[in-house]
Every structure is written in structure tokens, then in C-alpha cells.
Structure 1
């Protein structure tokens, strides 16, 4: 093991996923020298094991479902999906798990990349242990940004480790469809992977703890409509079921439930939550708890540390790539402003240095068939927060939806704040609604009055006409 000289930068970023890349991009654009450290592939979870491969798997599934709703196409798409072609296209989107292109991008913005495990070693100091054991010490003049993301959390079940369960990583990178797949969980990863692998030839059984159903963090009707469609597609959904133990016997996974049922499968996916990737990054050297989520202010600065930032999943504000990239832009602007001595207006909630959208304007799309998309709080969440609100519900039954596909089935909810008459939250469920959610995000983030939305005329004939139905229902009831 060798020791190199210490190197000094204005900013050191730990983690080169989309969040870390965007922090580095913004600080470099501001003229700050920046180092970025990555222990795995440059591009991170989203590029290789999450957003990109999962959506590459799901897109043919959704396209086929849409085609089957159209006379003239329906009879042409009755054959099973060509799983080999779908997986091959997935591999193209992950660059075959090689990060050459991402490395070139980092070099192109002028940041220095260090491969290896980055650990804090005191204030403003990061020690990097390279793959060959070489150690480098990077010192930051202004800021260190922790952008290490999150990892799948596995429950402490007897036999689980030896059973080699799938997490989201294995589910998005598998080389073939298992004959039988158990999916434990009912959240986004669970429903998306159940959708994909059922369509690619697996016989999928979902085990959902409790009676809350699927997509419990969205409006109740979202999970209900997705569950109905999954069941129609052949997925066996069992709610109120907990897994007590998992073993692998002669290649077969055996899961035993709390009811004593013994379920066999070729693979088992646990999609039961996430945990921060902060256990081995030296948090203890700066007085923080290893393995913990990091509390931050709206400029993404860690509480009690004027030089340390935590951006993306690690701060547990919104575990979504697009929100992490949004936070990265905010953090980069805040770091640059503080480095140049420019005062940050803490009182401006919508200024360039405040991640205000994390609180009440977080959008999300679930790429199932039907899609589920939402932004802002649900009705229940808004009521728990003390807002006087009213929910407006309408079926998505407009000219645009009927043209989109025969038998179109969807639903929309708008949560209106009765004090200010602004839209606090919106949920759409139905084919193609993922492309509607940005309009709702603009309304929620911009606190657009309902009276003003009357003058935002939806084009005819599009599914966006559902906005008119929502506004009419609010006015007339």
C-alpha cells in the first residue's frame, strides 16, 4: 500500500451517480476546482440498476398494451414479447454495464475523477482508497458533498442471505426471465418489476404485508387500479402476508409465510425499502452516525456542518433521481455562492439556493399499465398537515383518452386548498398519464390559483382535457 501527497480542491464530491455528477457540473460551471470519487460505475444506480434498465424493460410492455387497445393493431401484437430482444435493448441502455461514456462526460466538464472508496477523514478531508490499495487524501477548501445514494434494505429473515435473493439490482439486470418469481413488497419497485417480468414470461406472485394494498403512499385508487390490471395480466397478488423465512433448496427458493404457507419459486425479489449508503464513508470522523440518513437544510447543507452537504437519497427527503438532480443544482449554486462570499437569502423559499420543491411539489411516475403519476400531497397527507382541503375526483373520460385506446380506463384527483384556492396535489392513473404530470407539477410548484387555471386551455383532443373536467367538477360541486 502506498501513500500519495495530499491534493486540494475547492469541492470534493463523494459519489458519481446522477446527483454527484450534477453537483460537480454546477460547481465546475461556477469556476470551482472539483474532484469526484466513485467506488463503482460512474453514472450510479440510476444508469445501471434502476431508472434506465427498469424503464427499458417496461417500455415494450407498455407499448404492446397500448397497441392492443387499437383496432388495426391489436391482432398484430398477440404474440408473447421477444424477451431476448427486450433484454438486449435493456443492455444497450446500460452500456453493457460499462461507464466509458460517463467517464468522458466527467472529464469533459473539467472535474477530476478518482476511482475507489471515499471516506471522510475529518473536516473538509476525504481519503480515497483505490482498487490497487493506493490512498490519496483530498482536501476541500469550501465543501464536501456526500452523494452516495441508497441501497436496497433486506429484512433480517432466517436463511435469507444464503438464499441469494434479488434486490432491485438483480431484478433490473437479470439475463433471463425466471419461470416463477416471488415479489415481496407492494411499492414502486415491486409493481414495476412484477409488470415487467410477468410480461416477459415469468409467473409472478406478489406478497404484500398488511392490508394497505399496492402503492400505499399514493392515493388509494392508484394502487387499486394497478392491482386490478396486474391481476388481469396474471399476477397473483396476496395482501396481508408476511414472509417469515427464506431458503434455497436445490436451486429452488422456498418462502414460508406467517400463515405457514410454503411458496416455491426460481427467484425471490425483496422490494421492501431502502437504506442510506453511509455506513462506510467516515461519518464518525465528523461526529455523525455511520449508516444514518443525513439531516440537511434547504440548501442541502448538513445540520451543524457549514462545509458538508448531503445531496440525493442520503438526506431521505425524496428518493427519486429527478429530485436528487434538482437538489444537486440547488447545492451547486449554494456552494458556489458561499465560496464567492455572496450572501444566500435564506428567507426566499423559491430562490436559487432552496430546495423548496422537496417539501410539497415532488412528482413521481410509476411505469405500470396503467401508469400512476402524482405530485404534491395526497388528500390524507394534506389533511394531516392541517390544511383545509377538498378532493375533486373525475374519471379520465375525454376525447383524447378515447382516441388513445379503446376501453381507456383512468381516474384523476385534484386536491385543492380551500383557503388559498390553489392546487396542492394531483394524481392521475391511466395509460399515458406520465406525460401529464409536469403540467400538474407546474400548477403545484407555482401555487397557481384555480381561477387562473381556467385560462390554461388544454389542447383538443388530448388526455390533458381532464384538467377541464377537474376544474368543472370543482366549480359545480
Structure 2
């Protein structure tokens, strides 16, 4: 279906006038923007507007979290089945049914139809306004589109515009029309040979599903010495080893210097963009591929937001723990999600948005902001994340290195995930876990798990870190038997005298 959103607006969203006033105006209708608007007006007669130039639901719903995990999950299920006696004898396929996987992915992205999201907003009392928005003064937003509008906010304007993928300005690279993350998650064709540029989360997950879905040759070019530089080394090494076992070629300490693609065509998102491309690398070699995927980072979507009209630096947005934009005049401007640079993860954007919405509501009602719920403290060393590679990595808080860089004296407790629950999960289960403990307080400041489907382990660690639970008390948090969570007991046992 078309990704053009104009026809999916609700009747309330299509009204236009020269000037409109709302209590809260949110620029960007992704998960963070939606939550900020909802929390700011919940249980009140306040009004809110969401301004969006693409699809209501944002990057996560259509081009990031949802489609990427939909691409990865079927092969994980197949892998578990083929290593389970009593089941593996009935699994005849070596690979997933690619058309069926893509069809399922498209169900999760609603075929890029955001009408259900608009209906949700309408039911929540939130107006959806289509168009590109920018600040034109304090509490004032102009929306460009078929029906230009000037909006005024009584209480707050919230920036929730997210980030956009960056493509390095290397000779020939941009002209080659490489895939970005949007193409990779919405792929319609599987390139036989693919070059992934980057070694972060997007690069690793993309390389994983390209190989799983049938790409014959996948090469990953990584500038640094390892994948996933921000996770514990043992976790990144496990992912690298698995990729290499499955014939993904990893080129560490290497960069692309130039690209040539004589037959380049803009064939659409997720389609192979023309003929073969040749990438020249810093080690003097070349790689010929059918498609390039650039996964070298993202930048805040602040261009053309009109930040200068309210006296702000046009290059970036910073916020305090109330999510109020710093450097501005007053407490009417907020920023949540990726755009503020604090934690580029959907769940953290939604968390910030809940805090932000509550702060807006409290200020509108002249209530004090003394309660901890009005401060976004989880952004400081308590951020959970799951990387859906094979094997999975889940982590929260510090790594051992980042804790030491922060000046903490830490002890690291490590254990293989070798418990009854893991063996029952699948016969070939392998995994490892580490807890980072602050010696001064004897509480956790970080945890990392790597293994099959370890995503569900991280919330326990998150609660322990946020709650500052002493290790002595964790002995009394008894893991159910037989579950993979029993690894917590094994980790604590490494500390016994």
C-alpha cells in the first residue's frame, strides 16, 4: 500500500483554519510524541495537537523496531525447532518462507496505513494535523501543507521529531543510492550480495536478517576493532563468532573510501537500486555487491524546526530532567525521544514522554514537581536495551569499562548461562552473563546477558538497578526452577567465600 498518509486522516484531522489554539502542541507523532500528548491532557479538558508530515506512529512502527523484529523472529523460531528432538524430525525446511515472512512484517506495519493510529488519537481527544511544522516564535508553530496553519500553545510545545539516517559524504556513495535502515527493514528484494557499512545495532541486525533471508554473500565493514562497541566485549564476540559461522564476512579496521555504481536507479524503498556497485576499501581491496546498506549513525531531526526563532542553537536540542529544553526562555518548550540525544531507544523515548506529559499537566494545574515521577532519572545509567541478533544481547546500565570510566570501583560477577532452564529451552543453548557491582554501595550498576532469547532477563536487572537493591537482598529473590533466570543464582554464587 502507499505510504502517503494524506488519505488516512480522520475527519477531525482534516479541518483547517487560519489560526488554532491548543493547550499542548507536539511536533512529531511517533511513540514519544503520542505519549507526551496523551499524558499531558489525560483526565482533563485540555486540548492537544499532534503535527506529523509522514505517518502517525513514527519510525518505530513502520521503519524500525516493529518491521526489524518481524524479520528476525521467524528464523529464531526455526532455529529453536531444528535443535529440539521430537520436533526437528518434522522440520523439513532449512530456510524460512521469505514471502510469508515479508507478508507478516507488512501486517505489523499495517501496510504503511496509519488510519488506526489516527483513530486512537481521535479517541484520546488529540487532533492530528498533517504537514511540516516549525517554530515561528514562543508557543507558536506554523504548519506548511495544503492548508497552512498557525498554531498557538497555551501551555507547551513538545519537540518529538526523532532522528534521520546519515549517509557519509564519500566519493560516489550518495550517488549510488545506498539503502538506509528504512530500505533494509522494508526490503522487497533480497540482494544476492550485500555490503553493510557500520558495526552498530542496525548494521548487525540487518546483516543477520539478510543472511537468514537468503543473501548469499554479506560483508560487514567495521571501522573499529569489533562489532557493537558499546556492549561488553564477550557479548560482541559471541555475535561476531555466530556471524562468521554463518559465512558473514567481517572486515574490521576498514572503511569505504569510494563507491562506483554506473547503473543506478531510484526503484523505491526496499528495492535493489540498480546494477552492481563496487566499494573501494582502505586496505586497498574492492568489493562488488548488488546492494549497499549504510548503517553509520543518525542525527537529530532539527533542520527547519525554527529553533532560532526562540533563541536556540539550531544544531542540537538539550533538556533537563523535566524534559524542558535548556537555553530557552521559560518552561513552555520540551523535547522527548531521539531528538534530545539522551537515549535513542523507543522505550526510553516513551518513558521521557510520560515524564514530560506529567510535568506539563502538573505545571498547567500549578502542582509542585517534587515527586520523582516528574524527573527523567532513568536516562542516567539505567537504560535497558535488547539487540536482536543471533545470539541476542540484553543489557542495562553500565558495562565494566563505562563504569570505570565514570569513576566507579566495580566488581564484575560472570557466569555461563548453563542452567536447567537453558538446556530445556534448546539443546544447543550457549550463553554468558555479567553483573557490574559498585563496591562502595554493593548494588548493581550494570548487567549484560547474551544467549538465545535473553531479552526477558533484562527487566529483572533493570528493577534491581533502579531500586538500588543490595546484593545481599538479591539472594532472597528466588528464581523459579527450571527457568533461564536461574542464572541469577549462579552469578551470586561466584561471590561466595
Please, what TM-score do these two structures have when normalized by structure 1?
A: 0.96
1:9 aligns with 2:22: yes
Alignment of 1:339-378 (within 5 A): 339-345=364-370, 351-378=372-399
1:387 aligns with 2:387: no
Alignment of 1:369-448 (within 5 A): 369-448=390-469
Partner deviation per Cα, 1:252-300 (whole Å, 9 max, x = no partner)? 111111122111111111111110011111111112233x331100010
303-312 vs 38-47, greater mean Cα deviation: 303-312
1:171 aligns with 2:184: yes
1:418: how far off? 0.7
429-438 vs 3-12, greater mean Cα deviation: 3-12
Q: Which of the residues 201, 204, 210 maps onto 2:214?
A: 201
1:77: how far off? 4.9
C-alpha separation in 2, matches of 1:394 and 1:385: 24
Q: Which runs of 5+ in 1 are unaligned?
A: none
What is the match of residue 36 of structure 1? 50
What is the match of residue 215 of structure 1? 228
Alignment of 1:57-72 (within 5 A): 57-72=71-86
Does the CA contact (< 8 Å) of 1:68 and 1:77 recur in 2?
A: no
1:74 aligns with 2:88: yes
Tell me the secondary structure at the aligned position of residue 427 of structure 1: strand
C-alpha separation in 1, matches of 2:122 and 2:306: 27
1:27: how far off? 1.3
What is the match of residue 285 of structure 2? 261
Query: Over aligned residues, Cα RMSD in angstroms?
Result: 1.2
Please, what TM-score do these two structures have when normalized by structure 2?
A: 0.92
Alignment of 1:215-254 (within 5 A): 215-250=228-263, 251-254=275-278
1:6: how far off? 1.5
C-alpha separation in 1, matches of 2:197 and 2:174: 15
Tell me the secondary structure at the aligned position of residue 140 of structure 1: strand
1:175: how far off? 0.6
C-alpha separation in 2, matches of 1:169 and 1:198: 18
C-alpha separation in 2, matches of 1:67 and 1:255: 38
Does the CA contact (< 8 Å) of 2:75 and 2:95 recur in 1?
A: no
C-alpha separation in 2, matches of 1:77 and 1:358: 46
C-alpha separation in 2, matches of 1:425 and 1:336: 33
Partner deviation per Cα, 1:363-387 (whole Å, 9 max, x = no partner)? 0001111100000011111111111
1:69: how far off? 2.0
1:117: how far off? 0.3
C-alpha separation in 1, matches of 2:122 and 2:477: 43
Does the CA contact (< 8 Å) of 2:168 and 2:174 recur in 1?
A: no
What is the match of residue 289 of structure 1? 313
Partner deviation per Cα, 1:443-471 (whole Å, 9 max, x = no partner)? 11111110110000000000000000011
Does the CA contact (< 8 Å) of 2:259 and 2:277 recur in 1?
A: yes
Detail structure 1 runs of 4+ shifted over 6 Å in the superposition.
Answer: none
Tell me the secondary structure at the aligned position of residue 375 of structure 1: strand
Tell me the secondary structure at the aligned position of residue 244 of structure 1: strand
Count of equivalent residues: 466
1:319 aligns with 2:340: no
C-alpha separation in 2, matches of 1:200 and 1:404: 24
C-alpha separation in 2, matches of 1:74 and 1:287: 64
What is the match of residue 108 of structure 1? 123
1:56: how far off? 0.3
Partner deviation per Cα, 1:71-112 (whole Å, 9 max, x = no partner)? 222341542211111011111110011111111111110011
